[in-house]
Amino acid sequence: MFEAFAAETLKFRRHRATWFLVWIYPIACLILSVLLILIGLSQARPQVVAPAAAKWIESTAAIWYVPPHMFGRYLIAAFTAFVFAGEYGWNTWKLVVPHRARGALIAAKYGVTILFLYAAFLLTGLLTLAMGWLGDVVLGTPIPDGITASALAEAQYIGALKALSPVLVTIAYTSLAAILTRSTIAALVIGLVAVTAEQAFLGLSPLLAVYAPRLVWALYQLLPGYHFDNLSSWLSEGAAFQASLPETEPIAWSWIGSLAAIAAWVIGVAGLTFVSFKRQDIN
């Protein structure tokens, strides 16, 4: 297992796809931060009031808004498709499979995908913090009082938790598609369609519920979209996210219920990926 993980890490660490789909986050953050500082230096800088500490702290964790967003999930799906389906395009599975357990190979791919993505997000969060502080110092913008290391760490921690469920579900969708289709392009398309359909249903549910209230009400709670919002609400507000659809009772799950629903999706779809790969004929 550890040998498989080390091999996957070495394989994808410096690959071009990893640079474009994973390391792009900290690179883009650094470039954008430098540009904003340079623009600020080139303009007249009126006296400004320090922002509220809570707002300043929240801005340092802005990267964690990207993974749950549809575009962020598209990038995650693209990287997952590359990691899981790339072996078919390179025709290297037949060289690897005879020497390692298939379950360990898939587990290593899951581990590398999650590790690389979260390493990039965390690095981007740290860069955002450092460049935000540097920008305020260089531009003479007052830094608010009341900022503590524990508050900054908590903002990153909460952001990472909020992003976790959509990241895992997106990886699960796309990895299964990659194994079943054996194609990076097909896996990417299926992953994008799954993410788009999930989010579209969430937005159109109030309209669709007019025509089939009970069916839409059931699907709204079955699909993972509501549970992403609910877990995020519990983390931010300490209360359930309440959704109301026409002609049905309000929806408000406990955080344990939503966590169990997401776990069922991730474990179920990832389990199908393991089973499908174990039964696959690798030529």
- pLDDT tens for 81-93 read 999 999 888 888 8
The mean pLDDT of 213-233, rounded to a whole number, is 95
More confident residue, 7 or 88: 88
pLDDT of residue 53: 81
Which positions ≥6 away from 164 have C-beta within 8 Å? none
Which of 196, 194, 220, 195 lies closest to 207, judged by CA? 220
The verdict on residue 162 lying in a domain is yes
Q: Average pLDDT of the chain?
A: 90
Domain count, the chain: 1
Q: How far is CA 153 from CA 57, 62, 91, 150, 180, in A?
A: 9, 13, 43, 5, 40
Residues 257-278 pLDDT 10s: 999 999 999 999 999 999 999 9
43 lies in some domain: yes
When pLDDT is averaged across residues 181-200 and rounded to a whole number, the result is 95
Q: Do the domain assignments include residue 283? A: no
How sure is the predictor about 99, in pLDDT bands with cuts at 50, 70 and 90? confident
pLDDT at position 51 is 67
**SS3 state at 57:** helix
Percentages of the chain per state (helix, strand, coil), in multiples of 5: 80, 0, 20
Is 239 domain-assigned?
yes
Q: What are phi and psi of 141, to 5 degrees?
A: -80, 130
Residue-range definition of the domain harbouring residue 263: 2-278
Within a domain: residue 25? yes
The answer as to whether 191 is a domain residue is yes
Q: With a cut of 80, say whether residue 161 has pLDDT above it.
A: yes
Name which residue leads in pLDDT, 71 or 5.
71
pLDDT exceeds 70 at position 46: no
Question: Which residue in 123, 133, 135 sits closest to 35, CA to CA?
Answer: 135
Average of per-residue pLDDT across 235-253:
91
Q: Which residues contact 203 (CB under 8 A, 6 or more apart)?
A: none
In a domain, 70, yes or no: yes
The least confident of 91-100, 122-131, 145-154, 246-255 is: 91-100
Residue bearing the bigger pLDDT, 204 or 7? 204
Is 245 among the domain residues? yes
